[in-house]
Structure 1
């Protein structure tokens, strides 16, 4: 092979420092070793890389042509070395984040973007799954982190940190018959109980139902928030969805937050990033938690870790 990691390093050092002697000082070598390395490289490539007619060697057109790829290769080698070091220090080969679909619009991608900058070779997988399914992926080891709403009760197997909040609101299509039939256009809890409700739940339909969100006697279930949104917009029923998720549809007139007479329309829920206490977190997962927490702190809210 003509180019190697060593020859690329020497080649770029001579270009950057302008002479064999300056490159040798930068590489902590003797000038003759640098000069010999370049001569061997030129012989193997059958190309003149440096013009030696002047006082200092000058890169030839061939050298300038090879320079961009040499720099790209040097950068890749540095990334590879950094990745290998990180792996020895506990960086996972792959980081999987499971996210409740209603939270896909939440501010989590910025933390992943910064993580990608710090660990450019780390493989990342983002899975959208109903909350109960996301937590099941976490406990099975399929995912290292889950971004979900607060749970009705604490699970001793989980560590978590609050990273935001959202308000679940009851919504329905503005042309739904129950709105037209209600006195003053305002509904009471008996209207919600008697009207078909669209519920987002995991595929284990009974075990994954959050009792706080179930009002109606007649339920349609889906494991996808977009499917629920489509059904509600079509007038099939009403449902609880995050306000940030439905805001553009309310603004466009496709949905209304249901006007209620005897109770408030809004359930404030914290958003948590959750991990399993039964498995140690890798460097990537730890850093993601720190980065998404920093975003929350930047908003002026304290976020103590419940580990």
Structure 2
């Protein structure tokens, strides 16, 4: 049996956003259109996917079990479309990449060299963003692709894949900061000093990012480079990508020896399933996902 892509997309968005009305706004359709699409899907499957007895539709057990299957179908459809675009040609005029400071790789620089050589007339733009801001830039069409620290989940309209490289994070303070004088630092020591934390435009400050407690005192910035500058001025301690400290701190920061740190962070690349990737973006995506050659 063939299932309507519109019905599958309506179902996935309703689950992700928590209501049919929110899904309708997201997809630019009426609420009745979304309700009808989901009803057709339920009729095709012979199952109730939502319990409509409550104020907000709630997934039934069958709906919960089938959600992953629906997401697999949407992902497969996206891969088919990307493969067809590669075969059909038709170079897009511009590719924009939203890039997190989490991601630093010699392979990335090599890919840009290859991109320039392969598509010399292509306009390329790099945007620096983090976490939710990367997701918003891609979802809104402002960025073609995004590289960011792996998130627990993404909106249904986005495709995502794990790149081979990982990022290392440590906790850092200025050389003259009192914490830098301690040979070993406990979380209770950190709680007495100001935390410098990432707070992107699209994120809530109260997000649990797994950092040690700060005693309620914190300053925030939308990217790691600004946090690094705050840390070098002695304003507090910060979680930072170790490559960024090595390349830009000029010996002005000290890495704290805290149990459980440094930490390794997976990195994802994301793209919109609602906007067809051109040949250059498809090529760059595939190259970013390739594993670097073994040394």
Do they superpose with TM above 0.5?
yes
2:288 is aligned to: 292
Residue by residue over 1:99-118, the C-alpha shift from the partner in whole angstroms, topping out at 9 and shown as x without a partner, is 11343666423212212222
Runs of 4+ that moved beyond 6 A: none
Match of 1:274 in 2: 270
2:52 aligned partner? none
- Is 2:167 the partner of 1:166? yes
> 2 CA distance for matches of 1:177 and 1:268?
26
Matched, 1:231 2:242: no
Partner Cα separation in structure 1 for residue 286 and residue 94 of structure 2: 18
Equivalent residue pairs, number: 208
Checking the alignment, whether the CA contact within 8 Å between 1:169 and 1:267 is kept in structure 2 is yes
1:108-139 superposed Cα distances (whole Å, 9 cap, x missing partner): 23212212222221111111123321211100
Task: Note closer, same or farther for the CA distance 1:208–1:148 as it changes in structure 2 (3 Å cut).
Answer: farther
In the TM superposition, what are the counterparts of 1:137-148 in structure 2 within 5 Å? 137-148=137-148
Contact 1:105 1:245 in 2 (8 A): no
Match of 2:197 among 187, 196, 199: 199
Deviation per residue, 1:156-186 (Å, 9 max, x gap): 3332232211111111112212344x5xx32
User: What CA deviation, in whole Å up to 9, does each residue of 1:53-85 have, x standing for no partner?
Assistant: xxxxxxxxxxxxxxxxxxxxxxxxxxxxxxxxx
Residue 100 to residue 246, structure 1, CA distance change in 2 (3 Å): same
Whether the 8 Å contact between 1:257 and 1:265 is mirrored in structure 2 is no
Q: Deviations over 1:175-222 (max 9, x none)?
A: 212344x5xx32111122232111122124516945224632211001
Q: CA 1:221–1:119 in structure 2 vs 1: closer, same or farther (change >3 Å)?
A: same
Larger Rg computed on CA atoms: 1
Which residue does 1:120 correspond to in 2? 120
Q: Structure 1-normalised TM-score? A: 0.60
- What's the counterpart of residue 77 of structure 1? none
State whether residues 148 and 271 of structure 1, in contact with CA within 8 Å, keep that contact through their aligned partners in structure 2: yes
Match of 2:210 among 200, 207, 212: 212
CA contact (8 A) 2:173 2:180 kept: no
Distance in 2 separating the partners of 1:129 and 1:89: 30
Relative distance call for 1:207 and 1:228 in structure 2 (3 A) is closer
**Per-residue CA distance 1:270-291 (angstroms, 9 max, x = gap):** 1222112222221111100122
Secondary structure of 1:289 counterpart: helix
Distance in 2 of aligned mates of 1:127 and 1:248: 19
Q: 2:98 touches 2:127 (CA, 8 Å); kept in 1? A: yes
2:195/2:219 contact within 8 Å kept: yes
- State how far apart, in whole Å, the 1-side matches of 2:172 and 2:238 are: 6
Deviation at 1:256, TM superposition (A): 1.6
Structure 2 counterpart of 1:21: none
Q: How does 1:257-272 map to 2 (within 5 A)?
A: 257-260=255-258, 263-272=259-268
Q: What CA RMSD, in Å, does the superposition of the two structures yield over aligned residues?
A: 2.6
Question: Measured at CA, do residues 280 and 122 of structure 1 come closer, stay the same or move farther in structure 2, by a change above 3 Å?
Answer: same
**Local SS of the residue matching 1:211:** coil
How far the C-alpha of 1:224 sits from its partner, in A, is: 2.9
Tell me: CA distance 1:106–1:245, structure 2 relative to 1, closer, same or farther (3 Å). Answer: farther
What is the CA–CA distance in structure 2 between the aligned matches of 1:158 and 1:265, rounded to whole Å?
31
Aligned partners of 2:187 and 2:212 also within 8 Å: no
